Homo-oligomer: A and B are copies of this chain.
Amino acid sequence: MSHSTLTSEIPSDEAIAREATLDDIETVAARLGLAPEDIERYGSNKAKLTQDAVDTARERGRNGSLVLVTGITPTPKGEGKTVISVGLAQGLSHLGENVAVAVREPSLGPVFGIKGGAAGGGYSQVLPMEDINLHFTGDIHALTAAHNLVSAMLDAHVHHGNELDIDVDRISWTRSLDVNDRALRETVVGLGGSVNGPPREDGFGITAASELMAVLCLASDLADLRRRVGRIVVASDRDGAPVTVDDIGATGAVSALLRDALRPNLVQTIEGVPAFVHGGPFANIAHGTNTLVADDVGLAYTDYLVTEAGFGADLGAEKFLDIVAREGAAPETVVVVATVRGLKRHGLDMWPADFDVLAKPDPDAVRDGLPNLFHHVNTIRDFGLPVVVAVNRFPDDTDAEVDAILDACANREIPAAVSTAHAEGGPGAAELAELVREQVESGQANLRPTYELDDSLREKITAVATRVYGAADVTFSKQAEKDLGRLAEQGFDSLPVCLSKTPYSLSDDASNTGVPTDWTLHVRELYPAAGAGFVVALTGDVMTMPGLPAHPAALDIDVDDDGTIHGLF
């Protein structure tokens, strides 16, 4: 492809999706060696694997090589990790490899909020787009229902005599909805007198932020899911002891509600590559990657499985490598996605991001932003894993800007390739796929986590902060110090840690671009995600319920009389 075609018009994601011819899902399953009876169809182009197929995959074991896609410190519009993940899988397929891609399920909140649909884009998208972005196979709805059943059973327990002596001021289990709704962030429930009460402060998070979502994504099977659900801490009693989902008797009903959601969903990319779209946890208070079950199934039936971690390598990849990989497969190569736009933001030290300015050619700004990329590359290398840089080329990027990245990578002997997978599909990621295959075949991967599980929680947090984020120091608030003591007492100190931090800076301050130095990470509060199996450390404020902007994407979404949906893309 000549660079001149890059500035030509690419049709909208919606137009591309509508033109695409989809294979019947049985044909897609056959590419994985799955028979028609191994899948439960949801129409022509979606399926869930049957329980038998999942069990068989587990018996076969992980045969394929896992490739993890992560990125630089992003702008709020993202650097296109999903496009690169889908494109890379298509690129590997183009090279003749047996490959699948595994990505997260989109949440309705962002679909109707700012971001719009989320399943890749251009000629590197996952289809059928409307279904995946709306209800899909119902997994997220199942989580919403299960989450709020726990809430209802908890409040009903208190209402009917409170035998467990739950402290109503220390109920940590808020409610959940899959919507962006700031009015639900802080609420009072149980009003209207003793027939409804007691009244208490409460709030709603988006379903992706529910611990049940993290549990679904980390459970190895239904028995493991049930165990994890049962140990989720929902409140404290008046002696300060944790009250769990098991204690309130909700484990069985919740697990029944999540039974089908635990089986991976199979769809296809626009080029017919099998795609597992399954699970979608938050990448700040949770680990931010698709389900372990989907990874296990993908690795059982393919030679390459490409998967994606949320936000930059400091957040998504760190969590994948320090939390998920302890329970599942370790990646054999990691792709770090960079964009001209994202690097310019760092080079220009810009916050908030002004996308009009970022659209202007500025190779010097790109060069000035490169330290952020190299920091993330070094992070991955410190984990003992080979790295490939993928430059996600946008139509208006100039050659000078792109070359600035490629030249700097060449100077540092970092394998790097341009991807035009958005505009061209798999062939646009063929060079990237070649580099990834070389790294995988080199067999150099040797994962070294940032910390050992028997380090103290304080040591684990300090290791992530200093070695991954580049902090000079870590401080703990009074509350955090109390939390550390209580968590150790309650036996949670052998868990890995999940740090919640802004994704827009390596530091805990979104306006601090590039590679901040001489800064201190402030840990505000810690709590156990005992079901997910990690301790969450909050730094700064965490918003678990987004809001709608003045002009939400929902205003532009519509459906024709014949059922054609517009405006999702």
Known contacts A44-B40, A552-B156; is-contact A256 B557 (Cβ 8 Å): yes
Would you give the 0/1 interface string for A179-192, flagging 1 where the beta carbon is closer than 8 Å to chain B?
11111111111111
> Complex Cα distance A156/B184, Å?
11
> Complex Cα distance A253/B253, Å?
32
Interfacial chain B residues near A566, Cβ < 8 Å: 252
Q: Is the CB of B152 within 8 A of A180?
A: yes
Interfacial chain B residues near A558, Cβ < 8 Å: 251-253, 255-256
Q: Is the CB of B160 within 8 A of A181?
A: no
- Interfacial residues of chain A within 183-211, with CB under 8 A of chain B in the complex: 183-192, 195-197, 200, 202
**Assembly of this chain: how many copies?**
2
> Complex Cα distance A195/B545, Å?
12
The stretch among A71-79, A141-149, A294-302, A304-312 that forms the contact with chain B is A141-149
Interfacial chain B residues near A260, Cβ < 8 Å: 135
Q: Is the CB of A187 within 8 A of B186?
A: no
Interfacial chain B residues near A186, Cβ < 8 Å: 190-192, 196
> Complex Cα distance A62/B149, Å?
41
Shortest Cβ distance from residue A284 to the other chain B in the assembled complex, whole angstroms:
18
> Complex Cα distance A9/B155, Å?
38
> Complex Cα distance A161/B549, Å?
11
- Interfacial residues of chain A within 149-191, with CB under 8 A of chain B in the complex: 149, 151-153, 155-156, 159-161, 175, 177-191
A400, CB-defined interface residue at 8 Å: no
Known contacts A144-B141, A149-B112, A249-B554; is-contact A196 B223 (Cβ 8 Å): no
Q: Is the CB of B156 within 8 A of A567?
A: no
A422, CB-defined interface residue at 8 Å: no
> Complex Cα distance A156/B256, Å?
35
Closest to A160 in B: B550
Question: Which 6 A/B pairs are nearest by Cβ-Cβ distance?
Answer: A252-B558, A141-B141, A186-B192, A152-B181, A156-B548, A155-B183
